[in-house]
Amino acid sequence: MSAELMRERYEIQGGNFDTAGEISGEIKIILRDLGIDAASLRRVVVVAFEAEMNLVMYARRGTLTFILTDEEVNLEILDEGPGIPDLELAFQEGYTTATDEMRELGFGFGMGLPNMKRNSDELKIETEVGKGTSVFARIRLDAHE
Amino acid sequence: MKLHDIGDILQCEVLTEGDDLAVDVQYVVASDGMSEILAFAKSKELMITGLTNVQAIRTADIAGVSAVIFCRGKRPDARVIEVAKKKRIPVLVTKMVMFDICAILYNKGLKGVS
């Protein structure tokens, strides 16, 4: 078990498109300032950003917790929202339940969850319809690509 | 190809004065879908999009692109430009449509990412 070096918890308000994505931008600055290698940094922030956008688009509210160890970053995104009725379908590239408003923002083309999976070393999603969704992503910090 | 040369060819207006237009660009990622940009951009690409809201700039920052060109003459509002300046991402706008932009840059030797 590697030692925890940093833990930050951010509150996210659903429906607030104006600030959506800001937290992932902050995480990018933290990781860059720590000198984390570019490929790992990119993977972490893509997962964080897609998760943050999903939360803002679909949920009422939630939190994103960022946990840094000397070996990996763990992201925990917990929301109070509609949940995902069919997870397998949601992971299919191109499948979407997005509204026109979400598409006008440039999201909701059915690539968010696939992007998160592609950039995580481990991705676990727990969801309950009508209650919410929890996303746990682990991204190793040793060189990728 | 240098960003300022691309800006000249595409008859761009630079919206973030003072940013580095001497940056060298070899690859291009073009889409109005932000997750598509995130799926394909590896780093330092030129991003072309018709989406002019703040999410385009946040996506550009997360994807690590070198610059953003808004097509079809669509101009972001001042607050979006402020975010781009803060993130030090050069932003340009051209009246050309995405298809023409991509064709011109392809013929100049720039490549897409996949």
Task: Please report, for chain B, the start and end positions of each structural domain, with discontinuous segments joined by +.
Answer: 3-112
Taking CB atoms and an 8 Å cutoff, what residues of chain B touch A107?
33-35, 55
- In chain A, the percentage of residues whose pLDDT exceeds 70 is 97
φ and ψ of A61, to 5 deg: -160, 170
Residue A30 in this model has a pLDDT that exceeds 80: yes
Task: Please report, for chain A, the start and end positions of each structural domain, with discontinuous segments joined by +.
Answer: 4-140
Please report the pLDDT score of residue B46 as a whole number.
97
What confidence tens digit (pLDDT) does each residue in A93-137 have? 899 999 988 898 899 888 999 999 999 999 999 999 999 999 999
Separation between Cα atoms, residue A63 and residue A66, nearest integer Å: 10
CATH superfamily for domain A4-140: Histidine kinase-like ATPase, C-terminal domain (3.30.565.10)
Please tell me the pTM assigned to this model. Answer: 0.93
Please report the pLDDT score of residue B69 as a whole number.
98
* 8 Å CB contact between A59 and A77: no
Taking CB atoms and an 8 Å cutoff, what residues of chain B touch A115?
35, 38-39
Closest-approach residue (CA) in chain A for B51: A106
What confidence tens digit (pLDDT) does each residue in B11-45 have? 999 999 877 899 999 999 999 999 999 999 988 99
CATH entry 3.40.50.2300 includes domain B3-112:
no
* 8 Å CB contact between B86 and B109: no
Q: Do residue B35 and residue A111 have CB atoms under 8 angstroms apart?
A: yes
CA distance A56 to chain B (A): 12
The region that residue B89 occupies, defined by phi over 0 for left and psi between -120 and 50 for alpha, beta otherwise, is beta
What confidence tens digit (pLDDT) does each residue in A80-89 have? 999 999 999 9
Closest-approach residue (CA) in chain A for B60: A25
Separation between Cα atoms, residue B109 and residue A99, nearest integer Å: 38
* 8 Å CB contact between A130 and A80: no
Select from B35, B42, B43 the Cβ nearest to the Cβ of A107.
Answer: B35
Separation between Cα atoms, residue B105 and residue B114, nearest integer Å: 16
Report ipTM (2 d.p.): 0.90
Tokens 């481990």 locate to A122
